[in-house]
Amino acid sequence: MDAQEPLLTPPHRRAYRYFDLVMAAFVAVYLCSNLIGPAKAAQLTLPWLGPVTFGAGVLFFPISYIFGDILTEVYGYARARRVIWAGFGAMAFASLMAWVVVQLPPAPEWRNQAAYEIAFGSTWRIVLASLIAFFCGEFVNSFVLAKMKILTRGRWLWTRTIGSTIVGEGVDSALFYPLAFYDSGLIPNAILWQVMLSQFVAKVMVEVVFTPVTYKVVAALKRAENEDYYDLQTDFTPFSLKT
């Protein structure tokens, strides 16, 4: 995509038509991929590789990074930061709610407590690992994309969407799997790094496959919003909600 003149107007002075929809999609994908996907181990037989077992959530979690790329590319880091905090808060509340509901004594006639615990009874170690990994990975992803956009002068969108995802998903995976599973007995330590690497590669490949879609969505949003934000004067601290 050709470079455009950097827009220095702070994003909070603009009214956007689709920002709220993109934010809602980001949060929905993040919540669903963490609450629905992890409860199922799936297996597919792939050409040359044979049977491959993976957590079902790996198919959809990377889409949150795609939305993160779109948010930063179009609206800037500060707006993306608010969305990341929204996702973090929503997941923290959902995890607390799931824990409370699982702990409530079931009615005598209700026979689904065991199934409910399997689906929603994640340990606090896994929940905390997920929140920490998401927080760090998403902010790294947004930061790298914003800086690469300045460095490339807005050209070669694919380099920063894929490049930022490699770094962000790398941080996410490097934090989540050791924090959640090291010495847990759920995944043997001897193969933990293999699981981490395979999940990382799968997540990055989702970003690569969706690159043409990302191009179309970014181009459409830039036209509709009349915005192509460059973070030339942005405070990149993650601990702020200012735009």
Give the pLDDT band of residue 13 (cuts 50, 70, 90).
Answer: low
CA quadruple 147, 82, 239, 120: dihedral sign: negative
CA distances from 242 to 9, 107, 109, 134 (A): 14, 46, 50, 20
Neighbours of 12 (CB within 10 A): 11
pLDDT at residue 130, rounded to an integer: 93
Residue 49 counted as domain residue = yes
Instruction: Decide: 31 and 120 in contact? Cβ < 8 Å.
Output: no
Q: Is 241 within a domain?
A: no
Query: Closest by alpha carbon to 136, among 95, 185, 169, 93?
Result: 169
Name the domain count of the chain: 1
Residue 164 lies in a domain: yes
What is the reported pLDDT for 55? 74
Q: Which domain holds residue 122?
A: 11-225
Confidence label for 9 from pLDDT (cuts 50, 70 and 90): very low
The CATH number of residue 169's host domain is 1.10.1760
Question: Is the separation of the CB atoms in 136 and 175 below 8 Å?
Answer: yes
CB 37 within 8 A of CB 55: yes
Distance between CA atoms of residues 176 and 174, nearest Å = 6
Q: Is the pLDDT of residue 4 over 80?
A: no
- State the CB neighbour count (10 A cutoff) for residue 226: 10
In a domain, 20, yes or no: yes
Reported as a single tens digit per residue, the pLDDT across 21-46 is: 999 999 999 999 888 877 677 788 87
Per-residue pLDDT tens over the stretch 138-187: 999 999 999 999 999 999 999 999 999 999 999 999 999 999 989 988 78
64 lies in a domain? yes
Residue 2: inside a domain: no
Task: Look at residue 6 and tell me if it is in a domain.
Answer: no
Mean pLDDT score across all residues of the chain: 90
Query: What does the pLDDT look like over 70-89, one tens digit per residue?
Result: 999 999 999 999 999 999 99
Flag whether 140 is in a domain: yes
Residue/partner pairs of 39-45 with CB below 8 Å, 24 or more apart: 39/118, 39/119, 39/120
Ramachandran angles phi, psi of 154, nearest 5°? 80, 0
C-alpha 141/C-alpha 51 separation (Å) is: 31
